[in-house]
Chain A
Amino acid sequence: MKCIAYEIPAIDIHPSWVLRFSFALMAFFGPSSPGQEQVQFNRDVLPILADHCFSCHGPDESKAEAGLRLDSRDRLLDAISLDNPEESELLRRVASSDPEVQMPPPKSHKKTLTSGQVTTLRQWIQAGAPWGKHWAFEKPIKPLVPSNPYSHPIDALIAARLERRGLQFSARAEPHTLARRLSFDLTGLPPANAWTDSLKADWDVASYIDQLLRSEQYGERMAMWWLDVSRYSDTDGFQQDATRTNWPWRDWVVDAFNSNRSFRQFTREQFAGDLLPDATPEQKLATCFHRNHMTNGEGGRDPEESRVDYVIDRVNTMGTVWLGLTLGCCQCHSHKFDPISQTEYYSLSAFFNSIDENGKAGGEAKPYLTYRSSKAERVLTTARQLLNDRKPIEQRARDEARQPFQSWLSVQRESLRRADFKTWHALEATELSSSEGTHLQQGTEDKLIRATGPNPNQDDYRIGSVPKLSRLAGFKLEVFPDERSSSGKLSRGATGEFILTDVKAQIRQIGSSQVRDVSIVSAIADFSADKKSNDNYGDIKDTLDDDPRNGWTTKGAPKDTSHIAVFGFAEPLILTKDEEVVIELRHRSTLGDANLACFRISWTDQRGEAITKLGVPPLEQWGGMPPEFDLETQPTLHERLFEQFLLDYEPYQAPRNLLDRAKRQVTELEKAAESQKVMVLEERQEPRETFVLIRGVWDKHGEQVTRGAPAAVLPWSETFAPSRLGLADWIASDDNPLTARVFVNHLWQLFFGQGLVRTQEDFGVQGDVPEYPEVLDWLAVDFVENGWDVKRLIRQIVSSHTYQQTSIASNEMLASDPDNRWLARGARFRLPSWMLRDSALSIAGLMDTTLGGPPMRPYQPEGVWEELFMGRFKYEPSEGPLQYRRTLYTFWRRSIAPPFLFDTAQRRSCEVRVGRTNTPLHALVLLNDESFLESSLALAIAASQNHQVPPEQLNYLFSAVLNRKPTDREQLILQHQYQRAVDLYEKSPELAERFLQREQVLVPENLSVVQIASLAAVASMIFNLDEAMTHE
């Protein structure tokens, strides 16, 4: 195996941060003046070489131009002269402005070196070109902690450096601010307001931190982060985007954090829980981490290609999450900047290459663990309770409908007695046209529409009409054999069979240019040909899908008898005076020549059986009875009529819908409470051979490789088992220079908004050089020394003064350190969007805190899923308390992330650094999303129940959201806004009524509508304040 590690240093530089520290300070205080300080290889020289030279003269041997590599000292000696530094080819090239000589060459589009950089190189060569490693590949050593008034090592390390800069820490944040910061950071939720109100400056922060770390919400908060990192999703992604049931793994993550699993054990179980001795089901479950990748079941794709993709995904994810390395680069070639070869990359892939998987998706993506979650039962109980609560309401509404039903019956009896009662009313066309030239004519008496004249191969018939009925529930199409025009056959085609590919209905405003589609949702027919034996044509339902490759034909039935099809609308249409309805019958079949010859269309205003069954609907049946008929003697007909009545009885609709939704929810959760198939890791009997893939192409095999790991990070040794378990041990080895640092940085990023290394995804040569490497190293070493104890590490970080400083910045500080790299103030950044939803629900008292269980669906705008999948997936928000579960439990459809979450990981591939942007679209979510509107209302109700007068109610809203009392000025603004709202709503109370119509939160009857609406409007404004959404 070819090994491309850096050379052993010619001059041993002890990588002590204390030493580097003084250089960094000098660097800060001014441009380095030659001769005053020693140039340091890994800090000063390596970044220049990496940035400007490595892409052609770096670790990728195959790209080494002119055979020159500058990542190894031996090879670099070809380009420099230690005896006569000024004669060095390297210096001549980088200092030249001759395009023929100059390096990097103009065609590379790399920036030329600055004179300062050239000087650095010169000094370094003059000093004998001492060599070293990139800092992140050196095992961290606990730096000496300077002695100063700060007892916390992090603080002492940072304070010393700040002092040299002439700076000092900011004061500790105000108690309520610090409580908010801690609570959001450690639980993802705001603190209970009543508690922060009483905080004094000397409050016990340490025990508050402990309390937060002990709460179950801690595990949920950490899990939300880990799920983003893990690209966890409830669906496959890609074409079919099928649902998977891996959510028990999500609960495993929550539990792992809450029980404070050491990070080493956390790693071992997720990499190789199945390989642990006497592995428990939960340990096997843990390996789902490496199955969270997307799976692609696209037709025509080779499953082996997909399988290779998944293996690659695991290596890249491991590289990003644990090692902070951009390993993905090595899929196609050796790394251009970091000392990792393509061979080493595929050696890593070998650990994941023998999973007993097949590259398939959907329900066939073995291996699975059959796992029954104990968490589902509690969720199911809540759902059942809701159903039980709703049953009597529906029953009552049904009972209450009996009386109006009686009067409806008498009205119907009157109308049935009239001679003109009909279920079906023949359409009278106001317009008959076709796309390709067929002539259509309607008979005046029989209302039959006949096709004559040209007989194009394919044609669309359009029939416009202005029906007289008060509403339209659906229409009937009768197809007749026509003696006159097609010699007694059903169509004008040679075979005499028709094929109707699509049926559409549109409404057009007379005189307007635009039309709107009307949704036809049901279609039934007296006869449908067998699709299989008729080129996919037959089924009447296929006329609704806009696909010309299928449709309705009655082939197989006698051609000389008529046929019927009935189409139902989603909702009855009520046309305004100036509207007409157009029905379009499309004949666009593959072979064509199958256009209708003679047909009739009729309307009905009856919902229910008239459009869902072909028999006689109940009203018509009743109408056909003799005058002396007593309905009571026919209970079946009586009940059919009652059902018919209920369809249109307005007061019954809401209770019925609520009941149906609660029922569907229970059905869904009952399934979830059974055993689930969770995708996990499992080795196959016969290991697969692993090869380098040439240019990363899945079926282009290069040399064969064995399991191993990049030597530049930590050489593989016999002490590691040659399995995923060994790999986990290698990663979480005390000697691994990266893992602990990378993990510390993850947490730092969570609590400070930015990592100590800003490029969380890249600790390599091209990554960010940290401002405080000694802080990173102190924490990393301390973490390892204490058994990779996660809660302890978090306590270390958040107990520091560095963390607890106020985020209020002076103008000078903002100007000199806009990105807060020096940490002379606390971090101020917008909270993740998921915390904003959780926070609103929690403040409003709506949140359901049940831990774990099947996913739920928060409110989202209608049609988001339906549009993407053209109706294949339907979104129904969760009902009752389950709607208010934490965002962690949101059902995650990979192809369309929850729309109310902005700046979120997409969970397609591993993401460890999510951007934070500030756009109008975010504003619209927080202003208009139902979760925030309901929270505003619930909070307004609480305010008016707790306080009598508006000023106090407004102060209540404000401090509930912001954990502090408003200042006098703020009170004035709140009162002014409240008064504006009251003035408006008093003028139009119906607006207030409508504003209070929320999905589930109801306004108690004794409260004033105008006041509550005004309070809710102000509450919504407060939720939208910068302070409300910010980690201060």
Chain B
Amino acid sequence: MNDLERFARRFFLQSGSGFSMGALALGCLQRRIEGSESIAQKGQSDLPHFTPRAKRVIFLTQSGGPSQIELFDDKPGLQALAGTELPDSVRQGQRLTTMTSSQKQLIKPAATKFARHGQSGATVSEWLPYTSKVVDDLCFVKSMRTDEINHAPAMTKFLTGHQIPGRPSLGAWTSYGLGSENDNLPDYLVMISKMQRPSDQPLYDHYWGSGFLPSRFQGVKLRNSRDPVLYLRDPEGMPRELRRSLLDGSSQLNELRFDVTGDPEIHTRIRQYEMAFRMQTSIPELTDLRDEPEEVFQLYGPDSRRPGSYASNCIMARRLIERGVRFVQLFHPDWDHHSRLTSWCTARCRDTDQPSAALVTDLKRRGLLDETLVLWGGEFGRGVAGQGKWDSPEAGRDHHPRCFTMWMAGGGIQPGMTYGETDEFSYNVKENPVHVRDLHATILHLLGIDHERFTFRYQGLDFKLTGVESSQVVQAIVNS
């Protein structure tokens, strides 16, 4: 509190001009001062380490492990090998889950047809017709790798760098490191597609948690309900003007307490209540898509009209980016297709194909793609062997950590590129492997952060997102 304000408050309160005048005037004065002061969170002073290519990130997380074999990684040679046993020389002792460890590993060729698209000639499956149209804006990494074979540990590693919960998520690191550019919204927002079917893999909140970083860096989940943020809505019968007045009242009382105790934490608290008040307006405004033109819904597809759908969340992601939010993460569950690939996997493709492509198109035409890094992918891939009888329509695929495909766009990523290659079984990476750690290093790099120097001390150790094993920035996919 500055001297002027202190004086004004004393003056009003002591002048005997009546409490309501005095307090009222104080309320106005205080709001003016608060309003001119940014309440956004600052980042770390030594960041960025160098000029960032991306300012913001949208992570389209496909939970469950989409099949690279059906969607991106075309292996025409498998047709001839259909139903034969996967050679041990390829499998090399790879662990299986107990769902398939007792059955023979018989090769099941892709259930789809592939074609090459765009000027870049990228290979994409017929199940993704819209993605096929934007391939020249995307960079496919076909040589992703992880170490985990079960969902929760793999997703935890994919998003926090370590398989055991407790580390900060990628978004939390980013928010902690770079701070916020926004006075009205949290810096890291998470949205989960609303589905009817109970998901087999719950999305734990440590996936967007802050781990050992202060909890203000954890992702805030935007829910698809009347309260997009928990407790956002004031109770019935609490009009805005009364809420405003009560906040002014509590600020005044808190200021008096500050005068007594001198604890600076009180001022932080006043600011946080102010931010809460602003969010009560900014978030409903954000989530109300009525101001979007019809043409936008056509672009993102019919599902975008349904609030809570992946498609609707993609529109929301773009709105958040427009408002300067640093990190937006979408989760689309149910990619765990152990059976019936043709009905099940196509259902998830239908949910996500058009809106994902539309998001890239939409960001690009608004000039936002250059500074926004878009990522699409899940925690692992799927194996070449059929689960169940390989040639029955019942068949699916088990988890596979040794290779999977992701795509990226914008934010300093080389467009129209395919990076990395797997063997003829889409089983092992043959060329240019990209471990999940390398992905993290690359994302940080694009944000202007050297992953080696970006640490947080906890329990006596300097932790970093990429952990103790070595990891590299994948320079080849960075647009120079």
The docked-state distance in angstroms from the alpha carbon of A326 to that of B148 is 24
Judged by a CB distance under 8 angstroms, whether A1026 is at the interface is yes
New A-B contacts (14) at CB < 8 Å, excluding given A546-B197, A870-B197, A900-B231: A109-B452, A239-B202, A513-B290, A517-B306, A588-B343, A764-B460, A906-B209, A927-B231, A928-B231, A929-B231, A973-B252, A995-B238, A1021-B253, A1026-B257
**Chain B, 1-41, CB within 8 A of any chain A CB:** 13, 19-20, 22-24
Flag if B150 contacts A513 (CB, 8 Å). Answer: no
Is A979 interfacial (CB 8 A cutoff)? Answer: yes
Q: Which residue of A lies closest to B312 (CB)?
A: A514
CB 8 Å contact bits of A742-768 with B (1 = contact, 0 = none)? 000000000000000001011011110
Knowing A299-B99, A861-B231, A922-B272 are in contact, say whether A869-B216 is a contact too (CB < 8 A): no
Residues from chain A with a CB closer than 8 A to the CB of B223 are: 863, 867
Please tell me if B134 contacts chain A, counting CB pairs below 8 Å.
no
The 7 A-B pairs with the shortest beta carbon distances in the complex, nearest first, are A766-B460, A995-B237, A300-B97, A546-B196, A994-B237, A972-B19, A920-B276
The answer to whether the Cβ of B88 comes within 8 Å of any Cβ in the partner chain is no
Query: Which residues of the other chain, B, contact A1020 by a CB distance below 8 angstroms?
Result: 246
Chain A residues contacting B305 (CB-CB under 8 Å) are 508, 513-515
Q: Which residues of B contact A66 (CB under 8 A)?
A: none
Q: If A546-B195, A917-B214, A969-B256 touch, does A924 touch B452 (CB 8 Å cutoff)?
A: no
Please give the distance in Å from B221's CB to the nearest CB on chain A: 9
Does A1017 reach chain B (CB closer than 8 Å)? Answer: yes
Write the B191-203 contact mask toward A (1 if CB under 8 angstroms, else 0): 0101111111111
- Residues of A contacting B: mostly: loop
Contacting pair A923 B307 (CB below 8 A): no
Bound Cα distance from A988 to B242, whole angstroms: 12
Q: How many angstroms from the CA of A978 to the CA of B452 in the assembled complex?
A: 56
Please indicate the chain A residues that have their CB under 8 angstroms from the CB of B50 in the complex. none
B229 on the interface (CB 8 Å rule)? yes
Interface pick from B258-266, B354-362, B471-479: B258-266
For residue B323, CB closer than 8 A to chain A, the reply is: no
Distance (whole angstroms) from the CB of A567 to the closest CB of chain B:
14
Q: List 25 A-B contacts (CB under 8 A).
A: A239-B151, A337-B460, A458-B343, A514-B297, A547-B344, A548-B346, A548-B347, A588-B343, A809-B262, A861-B230, A867-B224, A896-B205, A899-B230, A906-B209, A924-B229, A925-B230, A925-B231, A973-B19, A980-B245, A992-B237, A994-B237, A995-B238, A1017-B242, A1027-B253, A1027-B257
A241 at the A/B interface (Cβ < 8 Å)?
yes
- Which of B19, B206, B306, B343 is A975 in contact with, Cβ under 8 Å? B19
Stretch of B75-83, B393-401, B441-449 that contacts chain A: B393-401
A970 and B253 form a contact (CB under 8 A):
yes
A976 adjacent to chain B (CB < 8 Å): yes
With A548-B344, A867-B192 known as contacts, the answer to whether A909 contacts B165 (CB < 8 A) is yes
Q: Please, which residue of chain B has its CB at the minimum distance from the CB of A929?
A: B231
Instruction: Tell me if B42 is interfacial: C-beta within 8 Å of chain A.
Output: no
Interface centre among B151, B234, B250, B344, by most chain A C-beta atoms within 10 angstroms, is: B250
Interface assignment of B432: CB less than 8 Å from any CB of chain A: no
- Distance (Å) between the CB of B252 and the closest chain A CB? 5
A811 with B166: in contact, given A239-B201, A298-B152 (CB under 8 Å)? Answer: no
Task: Report B-chain residues with C-beta under 8 Å of the C-beta of A458.
Answer: 343
B125 smallest CB distance to A (angstroms)? 17
Q: Give the size range of A's interface with the partner.
A: 35 or more
In angstroms, how far is the closest chain B Cβ from the Cβ of A307?
Answer: 14
Q: Tell me which residues across on chain B come within 8 A of A239, comparing CB atoms.
A: 151-152, 200-202
Shortest C-beta distance, B306 to chain A (Å), equals 5
Chain B residue nearest to A924 (CB atoms) is: B231
Are A993 and B237 in touch, CB under 8 angstroms? yes
Report chain A residues within 8 Å CB of B197. 545-547, 870
Residues of B within 8 A of A548 (CB): 340, 343-344, 346-347
Tell me the complex Cα distance, A808–B258, Å.
10
Neighbouring B residues of A972 by C-beta, 8 Å: 13, 19, 22-23
Q: Which residues of chain B from 95 to 120 have any CB-CB distance to chain A below 8 Å in the complex?
A: 97-100
A267 CB within 8 Å of chain B: no
- Give B252-295 as 1s and 0s: 1 = Cβ < 8 Å from A's Cβ atoms: 11101100111111101100110110010000000001101010
Interface centre among A909, A928, A1024, by most chain B C-beta atoms within 10 angstroms, is A928
Contacts of A807 in B (CB 8 A): 261, 263
CB within 8 A of B98: which of A302, A501, A969?
A302
- Interface flags for A979-1023 (1: CB within 8 Å of B; 0: not) read 111001000101111111100000000000000010001101100
Q: Cα distance A1020–B204 when bound, in Å?
A: 32
A1025 touches B254 (CB 8 A): yes
Contacts of A719 in B (CB 8 A): none
B215 CB within 8 Å of chain A: yes
Known contacts: A326-B460, A808-B262, A1025-B253. The answer to whether A895 contacts B196 by CB under 8 A is no
Residues in B with CB closer than 8 Å to A872 are 198
Check if B45 is an interface residue, CB within 8 A of chain A.
Answer: no
Contact A973:B253 (CB < 8 A) given known A767-B460, A918-B269: yes
Q: Which of A300, A517, A1025 contacts B150 (CB 8 A)?
A: A300
Q: Contact check, A814 vs B237: say whether CB atoms are below 8 A apart.
A: no
Q: Are B394 and A590 in contact (CB under 8 A)?
A: yes
* A590 with B343, Cβ < 8 A, contacts A928-B235, A1026-B254 known: yes
The residue of chain A having its C-beta at the shortest distance from the C-beta of B14 within the complex is: A969
Q: Tell me the residues in window 944-972 of chain A with beta carbons closer than 8 Å to chain B beta carbons.
A: 967, 969-970, 972
> CB-CB < 8 A to A980: which residues of B?
242, 245
Chain A residue nearest to B213 (CB atoms) is A915
Contacts of B186 in A (CB 8 A): 920-921
Complex-state Cα separation, A900 to B231, whole angstroms: 9
Q: Which residues of B contact A814 (CB under 8 A)?
A: 262, 264
- Chain B nearest CB, measured from A149 CB (Å): 27
Closest B residue by C-beta to A309: B164
CB distance from A770 to the nearest CB of B (A): 14
